[in-house]
Structure 1
Amino acid sequence: MLRIVSFTFNAFSENTYLLIDEASRATAIVDPGAYSADEQRTLHHYLESEKLVVQYLLNTHAHIDHVLGNAFVLQHYPNIPFLLHSLDLPTLRAVPTYAGPYGFAAYEPAEPTGELTAGQVIELGESRLEVRFAPGHAPGHVVLYDAAGGQLVGGDVLFKGSVGRTDLPGGDHATLLASIRKELLSLPDATVVYPGHGPATTIGEERRSNPFLK
């Protein structure tokens, strides 16, 4: 069974997720937004106090609010794979050019050690995560689907009552909607979606009431 724990970090109120395989304590850290010392202490204390075995650092995409804590995670867990879709490497490498003006002058870059690809299955203890390619908000955006648990870590693709913004470099609204319809709305209505910002929702709720999907 995969348990999902969330933290809300940084000035963008970004959701950082821990994906924890209950049987083995194997854990993936997804989109660590911890920037301040207090945020980093909060994240690290939870990982250590729960005796979690960190095995992966995963980025759904590489906008600044989702990658602020990458270097911090790798400093504490230096031998884990750091995976990002290759199409979002330029997005990640651009962050240092604007981190200062956005108020994150102490941002430390980190380079992925491998890739996330469409259809890839990530083994996390006894749990399995399917990587689904869902561009539109960012060129290399992916979502992570736990079929056994009926839950999805969706980054900035689909929100409660909304969808991801597409006015940033590499964004495209038509592509985003096509990704949502193909990769998310094809999932069961009961699937819980954990977005990059705001509260969790379900596929069924968004199918019925999201004004962007009408």
Structure 2
Amino acid sequence: MEVKIFVNNPFQENTILLYDETGEAVVIDCGCFDDEEREEFRNFVRGKGLKLVGLLDTHLHIDHILGNNFIKDAYGIDPQASEEDDFLNRGAISYAGMLGITGITQPPAIGTYLKEGDVIKFGNSELKVIAVPGHSPGGLCFYSESNKLLISGDALFAGSIGRTDLPGGDSKLLLKSIQTKLFALDDDVRVIPGHGPLTTIGAEKRYNPFF
């Protein structure tokens, strides 16, 4: 499995494109905000000859879904996310306004609700859905066991965890979710968070100050 990370929007959010030798691809947390970011994504997909077959969201805070309309319009793909976060999608415009982001349109409705244990398939690849609530009620991670790769969204960062002071946040639940589900993975599993640099499960178990 190949990985391409685009750092997008004013929040420096990691938009993650996964693809394999078949040419099929999924995008996770598409945060493309302006024409330049959208064009960079389009050019990469076109240049690699990829077929985009999925749009996955780890959670539905506005910085992670700013590109969902773009993906829907350009590729005809509906987002997949947890139903527990649907209220964030419905309130996206007002929440964006609170953060000083104006001029956006309502993101598309969630096409498929994901839950713990679901498996996303594309090409010859699979991603297992892990529910990690706490940063948001419907926080999800996506795990490729064969590639030892975890897409952690805003649950786990290099040296930190997701904030829990936003609507639906729960700090105790987030810590428990990480300890019982993410830290159960092998130490050499690579972690791509929703913002900032990559890390590993082992590094966070040893050095993350929250644990």
When the two structures are superposed, what TM-score results if normalisation uses the length of structure 1?
0.96
User: Which residue of the partner structure matches residue 3 of structure 1?
Assistant: 2
Runs of at least 5 residues in structure 1 that lack an aligned partner in the other structure = none
Distance 1:205 1:101 in 2: 35
Q: CA deviation at 1:111?
A: 0.8
Aligned residue for 1:99, secondary structure, equals helix
Q: CA deviation at 1:91?
A: 1.2
TM-fit CA distance, 1:3: 1.4
Q: Which residue of 1 aligns with 2:90?
A: 93
- The residue number in structure 2 matching 1:103 is 100
Larger mean Cα displacement after TM superposition, 190-199 or 98-107: 98-107
1:14 aligns with 2:8: no
Query: Residue 67 of structure 2 aligns with which residue?
Result: 69
Per the alignment, residue 165 of structure 2 pairs with 167
Q: Distance in 2 between matches of 1:103 and 1:52?
A: 34
CA distance in 1, matches of 2:157, 2:56: 20
Query: In the alignment, what sits opposite 1:114?
Result: 112
Query: Deviation of residue 106 (structure 1)?
Result: 2.4
Runs of 4+ in 1 over 6 A off after TM superposition: none
Give matches, 1:19-168, under 5 Å.
19-21=18-20, 23-78=21-76, 80-108=77-105, 109-168=107-166
**Contact conserved, 1:55 with 1:81, CA < 8 A, in 2?**
no
Query: What RMSD in Å do the two structures reach over aligned CA positions?
Result: 1.0
Find the partner of 2:185 among 170, 184, 187. 187
Aligned-residue offset at 1:101: 4.1
2: CA distance, partners of 1:103 / 1:46? 29
Indicate if the aligned counterparts of 1:9 and 1:15 stay in contact, CA closer than 8 A: yes
Superposed CA offset, 1:79-117 (max 9, x none)? x34211100100111111132342332222211111111
Instruction: Give aligned-pair identity as a percent.
Output: 41
**In the TM superposition, what is the alpha-carbon distance from 1:17 to its structure 2 partner?**
0.2
Indicate the residue corresponding to 1:196 in structure 2. Answer: 194
C-alpha distance in structure 1 between counterparts of 2:155 and 2:179, whole Å:
11
Q: Which residue of 2 aligns with 1:177?
A: 175
Find the residue that maps to 1:89 and give its secondary structure.
helix
State the Cα deviation string for residues 151-205 of structure 1 (Å, max 9, x = none). Answer: 0001001111100000001001000001101210000000000000000000000
TM-score (norm 2): 0.97
The number of residues matched between the two structures is: 210
Unaligned runs of 5+ in 2: none
Shift of 1:15: 0.3
What secondary structure is seen at the aligned counterpart in 2 of 1:38?
helix
